Amino acid sequence: MADYKAPLQEIRFVMNEVFDAPSLWASMPRLAERVDPDTADAIVEEAGKVTTNVIAPLNREGDEQGCQWNNGDVTTPDGYREAYQTIVEGGWNGLGGNPDFGGMGMPKTLVVQFEEMLQASNMALGLAPMLTAGACLALDAHGSEALKEKYLPNLYSGVWSGSMDLTEPHCGTDLGIMRSKAEPQDDGSYRISGTKIFITWGEHDMAENIIHFVLAKLPDAPKGPKGISLFLVPKFLVNDDGSLGERNEFSCGSLEKKMGIKGSATCVMNFDGAKGWLVGEENKGLAAMFTMMNYERLGVGIQGLAAAEASLQSARDYAFERIQSRAPSGARNPDKAADPLVVHPDVRRMLLTMKGYVEGGRAFSTYVGQWLDVAKFSDNDEDRKRAEGLVALLTPVAKAFLTDRGFDMCVVGQQVFGGHGYIREWGQEQLVRDARITQIYEGANGIQALDLMARKVVGSQGKLYELFAEDMASFIEKEQANPALEPFLSPLAAALERLSDVTEHVLEQAKDDPNAPGAASADYTNLFGMTALAFMWAKIVVAAAPRTEGDSSGFYTGKLKTARFYFQRMLPQTVSLAESIRSGSGSMMEHADNEF
């Protein structure tokens, strides 16, 4: 089985050369005092070591063993506890966390690189730090000072882990119909009752305490999503001196048996009057939870990208090692029985398609990270507001597009292996199984697409879309005279025009067809993602072109050639997507029930 190796050169290239993140950090005083290029580089280097040497080797065995449930306790696969401890000792849980409570306060442009390495090395284990970091974000943004002081330091350190408890047997997407209840108590706490299902890392043996962020309804709550509140519910109650007290009134009823991420515990959690504390305001829990969910959504997008990177690494190695048939243009290895797979045009198509999505996707996740940094750290109100708008627009694209393509690319990687991709030995079938969930949880991709199309684009009357279109247009304008971009600028401008035109079209359709946004949404998300990746590839060309002379490693020349492949063989899909969207909702909505 090919082992994952953190792609440090790729990561440094995107962070430092494509996005010049160090200049961005230096331009914002609150970041400039925290991070410099050397610190960032040392973090990337160390993340590479931990994920490659400690976490990745557990991935296969964790999948084989899975977690074990025994009378409410959950035992993790061999090595997980120790690996989690390494994550704790390195402070990785709190990499982007608030320094006032023990976080490291690092910028998202750096944190996304760690997240990619972590998820590519072992998605099942990687979910634990990811959920904890998301929980910290919600608590930091909405919790009272007392709750923050009591819980954040141990969550940032990872001595305690976090989980999010939204889903119930009868409600996943539509949380407004949830049944879990919260009864106010005289001491200011609440008693939480109800059953939550599918709760990732809801119970395990890696951390000393598990802090659940639970959505529930107060007795007099309004109906629907406006009647949901968020509660912090610890597994062990925490005494005033910070020591752990008695066990809270809830337990893990069972573990789900599932298709992938088998090394992670997916728990049924039964709350039987558990003691909890309100986070944020009563009935405004969904908004508070969204702080966590938005963070997780980019994180899940990165999981899709990460799985595809892991798949690409082993597919590329395999394509050079496995010999099968002769090259159409004449033998490459006349002294051997056959040529390596990589000589065949169709195998090259598969590898380059993977490179196109993975390397473009890495740039896209860093691009979103860049706007998250501006939104959080800029002192300029206007810049911050613009960045917030871009983050709102791009988050569903990052979640849905990167995971849809991430899964597809794992299937393509599996295809490179032929039959050997279908059996366990090479790890490709695990990647396919693991990546599949990324399209479903954290809001299924259909819901992400609807969020992009209906809430963000139509809901803002195109204003949020304009922010992205302006950024792309100003890049095209600025690079007009760049000779390296000569073959790319005109198809890039055409792709932007196509996306803008389709956006206008759906805005018009939506005026008198309530089904128009939903009908357009999945194709639109695809179209948006493909166009955004073309933008990313053009940025990659700008950074790589000056470095190609004497590039004997092929790193930079390879970037220009992959960009050409992306523009010639992948971007044209946007033409058919646009055509499909323009056809409107008619062909979807005209079926009567008995015609399905």
Ligand X SMILES: Cc1cc2nc3c(=O)[nH]c(=O)nc-3n(C[C@H](O)[C@H](O)[C@H](O)COP(=O)(O)OP(=O)(O)OC[C@H]3O[C@@H](n4cnc5c(N)ncnc54)[C@H](O)[C@@H]3O)c2cc1C
Applying CB under 6 A, the residues found at the interface with ligand X are 163-167, 172-173, 198-200, 258, 266, 437, 440-444, 446-447, 450
Shortest Å distance, C-beta 45 to ligand X:
31
List the beta bridge partners of residue 270: 195, 251
> Is residue 446 within a helix (H) or strand (E), and if so which, with residue range?
helix 445-450
Closest distance to ligand X from the beta carbon of 202 (Å): 7
| Whole-number Å distance between alpha carbons of 192 and 176 | 17
- Comparing C-alpha atoms, which of 317, 296, 428, 300 is closest to residue 7? 317
Dihedral over Cα of 407, 410, 416, 421: its sign: negative
Q: Cβ closer to ligand X: 12 or 258?
A: 258
Tokens of 244: 């752990």
- Contact criterion met (CB below 8 Å) for 135 and 127: no
3-state secondary structure of 247: strand
575: helix, strand or coil: helix
Per-residue DSSP letter, 208: S
Residue 345 CA to residue 328 CA, distance in Å, equals 9
Q: Indicate which residue of 359, 442, 477, 479 is catalytic.
A: 442
355 or 436, CB closer to ligand X? 436
Helix spans in 108-222 (H): 108-121, 123-142, 145-157
Q: Which is nearer to ligand X, 121 or 167 (CB)?
A: 167
Question: In terms of CB distance, is 323 or 440 closer to ligand X?
Answer: 440
- Measured from the Cβ of residue 345, the count of other Cβ atoms closer than 10 Å reads 10
CA angle at 296 for the pair 291 and 302, rounded to the nearest 5°: 145
CA 139 to chain centre: 20
Contact 231, 191 (CB under 8 A): no
d(CA 399, CA 404): 9
Q: Are 341 and 324 in contact (CB under 8 A)?
A: yes
Report the candidate in 413, 589, 451 with the shortest Cα–Cα distance to residue 173. 451
Neighbours of 195 (CB within 10 A): 18
Structure tokens at 524: 């639109």
CA dihedral over 112, 116, 117, 122, signed as positive or negative: positive
- Give me the least distance between CB of 65 and ligand X, in Å please: 17
Determine the residue type at 256.
E
17 is catalytic: no
Tokens, residue 80: 């997980």
In degrees rounded to 5, what are phi and psi of residue 481? -95, 5
Instruction: Scan for tokens 């879309």, then name that residue.
Output: 465
Q: Which two tokens stand for residue 564?
A: 């050409």
Question: Which residue, 111 or 400, is less far from ligand X as judged by CB?
Answer: 400
Q: Which is nearer to ligand X, 164 or 409 (CB)?
A: 164
Smallest Cα–Cα separation from 295: which of 88, 130, 162?
A: 130
51 vs 163 by CB, closer to ligand X: 163
Pairing, β 181-184 against β 190-200: antiparallel
Show Cβ contacts of residue 484 under 8 Å, excluding neighbours closer than 6 positions.
541, 542, 545, 546, 560
Contact 570, 356 (CB under 8 A): yes
**DSSP-derived secondary structure letter, 171:** B
Residue number, nearest CB to ligand X: 172
What phi and psi values does residue 428 have, to the nearest 5 degrees? -70, -40
Give the nearer residue to ligand X in terms of CB position, either 358 or 400: 400
Longest pairwise C-alpha distance within the chain: 84
Catalytic residues: 442
